[in-house]
Amino acid sequence: MLPYKTAAEAEAALGRAMTGAETAWFSYSASVPDHVLYCHNVAILLLVYTLAPLPLALLDLLSAQRAVTSPLKLQPRAPRLSPADFLRCYLDTARVLLLTVGMLSIVSFPVVKMVGIRTGLPLPSLGEASAQMAVYLLVEDYLGYWIHRLLHTKWGYEKIHRVHHEFTAPVGYAAPYAHWAEVLILGVPSFTGPAIVPCHITTLWFWFVVRHIEAIEIHSG
């Protein structure tokens, strides 16, 4: 929650006029508690998960388009998923994401505040946000690789990671389809970067959107 009651107070604290983006942010967040802003991650994640895979999923489901998409498939001879398979994948994954990410957002907020994720003004510059995103991508790529290797050990695969591989010819909606423990474990690489290099909450939202879209694209087949 911003510590200013009016836009004039905010501008006085900044020592300048707010930008258009900052004015919009002030209007939206001035009276919203920080914990609620952080929990926006859950709604943003579910929205991206619902919409981002949809175009390619529709191409997969529409028989008239299969002649176009088949040559582009990494596994062109793999059986196509039925509408029921897509729906089951979506509903199961949405449920796991809601329960795991939702609960994690509730209990992890003190850690978010401790590492220095901020919600106030000023908003980050494009250069600042870009530099932070570059760090997050590198950290996540490195840690994600090694955690993925561990999940492919005999114990990790049999107890946890096998769920993710139920879809042998993956589609975008199967990107986060996994055991609830894997969803939590793979959240560690995504959050480590922001913990090392703290950012504004809006940058954190954007980072999670980019990371999720990247996972969807990788699994699109």
Same domain? For 73 and 19 the reply is no
Structurally, how many domains does the chain consist of?
A: 2
Residues 67 and 123 in one domain: yes
Are 45 and 22 found together in one domain? no
pTM of the model: 0.92
pLDDT of 2 > 70? The answer is yes
Domain that holds residue 28: 1-32
Identify whether residues 93 and 165 lie together within a single domain. yes
Q: Which residue has the higher pLDDT, 69 or 110?
A: 110
Same domain? For 90 and 69 the reply is: yes
Hey, what are 93's tokens? 């994954």
Note whether 78 and 140 are same-domain residues.
Answer: yes
Helix (H, G, I), strand (E, B) or coil at 66: helix
11 and 55, same domain (yes or no) = no
Q: What local confidence, expressed as pLDDT, does residue 60 receive?
A: 80
pLDDT of residue 69: 67
Are 3 and 64 in a shared domain?
Answer: no
Supply the pLDDT for residue 79. 75
Same domain as 152, residue 64: yes
User: Which long-range contacts (C-beta less than 8 Å, at least 24 apart) are formed by 26-31?
Assistant: 26/2, 26/121, 29/1, 29/2, 29/119, 30/1, 30/2, 30/4, 30/5, 31/1
Distance CA 37, CA 119 (A): 8
